[in-house]
Amino acid sequence: MTVIGIHSAGHMGAGLGWALRSGGAGVITTTAGRSSRTGRLAADAGLTLVPSLDDLVREAAVILVVTPPGAARSAATDLAAAAARTGAAPLVADLNAVAPSTVDDVAGILAPLDFVDGSISGPPPTVRPGARLYFSGARAAELAELPWRHVEVRVLGDRPGTASALKMCTASVYKGTVGLYAQAMRTAAAHGVLADVLADLAGSGGHERPEYDVALAASKAHRYVPEMREIAATQRAAGLTPALFEAFAEVYAGIAGTELAEAAPESVRTADPDEVVRRLRPRPAAGRAG
C-alpha cells in the first residue's frame, strides 16, 4: 500500500487525507509545531500521526503539500532539507494556490526530488464532496491513480505550472466575486440599503447566500491576501494589469483584521447579513501612549 504524506493537515489538507484514506490509502501527517486545531482536524480525518517532518519524508512515497500560498516556498525548503537529512526521495505534489512563476521556484527548491504541480477547486471533501483536483507534470498520472474518493481528478499535461495557472484563473472569478460582494455589502450597510441591495442581486441571479460566502471568505482572508497577489503576478505575466488583484489583496487584508476573520472555516454557518457586516467593521486603532 502506497503511504501518502500530507504537509500540512489544515482544513483542506486533512480533507484530502480523509478522501485518500476513504479509498484505502495509508495517510500520515505530522502536527509538530502546529496548532491544536490542526491536531483536531487530523484526528477527525483519521490520519496517522508521525513525530516529525523527517519521519513524514522518510515514510511517505508521495507527499501532498497544502499550505497557505505565502508559505509555499518555505514549505518546499523544509521538505528539501528533510529529504537531504534522511536520504529519502518522495514524489512531491504542491497543491497551493500560487502563480506558475512560484511553481517554478518551488520546483527548483525541491530539486532533485520529482515534482508535480497541483491545484484544488472547491471546498474540502469533508465539507462537501466533489472538489476538483488538477495535476500537471511528468508524473501527474501517478497522482491521479491514487485511491481518491469524494473528489474528481484531472491531469492537464506534463508541464508544471499548468494546474496552477488554471487555479489562478478560476480563483480570480470565485474569490474576486466574493470580494465584490463584501465591498458591496459593507457599502450598502453604510448607506442603509443592505436588504434592498441583496434582494436586487438575488433577483438578478446572484449568489443566494452572499452573507455566508462573505463570512466563509473572511475566515480565510489571511490566506487570500497572498493568493490575490499570486493572481496579480499571473495576470501580469499574461501581459495584463496586476492592479485589479493587487486591490483585492488590499480588500482581503482589511477583512483579515476584523472580528469575522477570527472564526475557523469549519465553524462558519449561515449568518444574518446585518451581523456579517457588523463583524466586518474595522477594529478601532489602539491608542498611543501620551
Give me the pLDDT at residue 290, please.
32
Tens digit of each residue's pLDDT (9 = 90 or more) over 82-124? 999 999 999 999 999 999 999 999 999 999 999 999 999 999 9
b/e map of 136-151 (b: 16 or more CB within 10 Å)? bbeebebbeebebebb
First-to-last C-alpha distance (Å) of the chain = 65
Contacts of 218 (CB under 8 A, 6+ apart): 182, 255, 256, 258, 260, 261, 263, 279, 280
The domain segmentation of the chain, as residue ranges, is 3-158, 165-279
Q: How distant is the alpha carbon of residue 57 from its chain centre?
A: 22
Architecture per CATH, 3-158: 3-Layer(aba) Sandwich (3.40)
SS3 138: coil
CA 162/CA 102 separation, integer angstroms: 12
Give me the pLDDT at residue 205, please.
80
Strands 131-136 and 151-155: parallel
Tens digit of each residue's pLDDT (9 = 90 or more) over 33-55? 888 999 999 999 999 999 999 99
CA 65/CA 4 separation, integer angstroms: 11
In the DSSP assignment, the letter for residue 111 is: T
CA 148/CA 150 separation, integer angstroms: 7
CA 279/CA 274 separation, integer angstroms: 9
- From 174, 73, 157, select the one nearest 120 (Cα to Cα): 174
CA 234/CA 152 separation, integer angstroms: 25
Give me the pLDDT at residue 33, please.
85
pLDDT along the chain (290 residues), means of 10: 92 96 97 90 96 98 96 97 98 98 98 98 95 98 97 97 98 97 97 96 83 95 97 98 98 96 90 94 58
Q: Which long-range contacts (CB under 8 A, 24 or more apart) does 31-37 make?
A: 34/8, 34/9, 37/264
pTM, to two decimals: 0.94
Give me the pLDDT at residue 285, please.
60
- From 243, 65, 71, 21, select the one nearest 163 (Cα to Cα): 65
Are 235 and 245 in contact by the 8 Å Cβ rule? The answer is: yes
CA 233/CA 228 separation, integer angstroms: 9
Burial class of residue 266 (count of CB atoms within 10 Å of its CB; 0-12, 13-18, 19+): middle
Give me the pLDDT at residue 127, please.
92
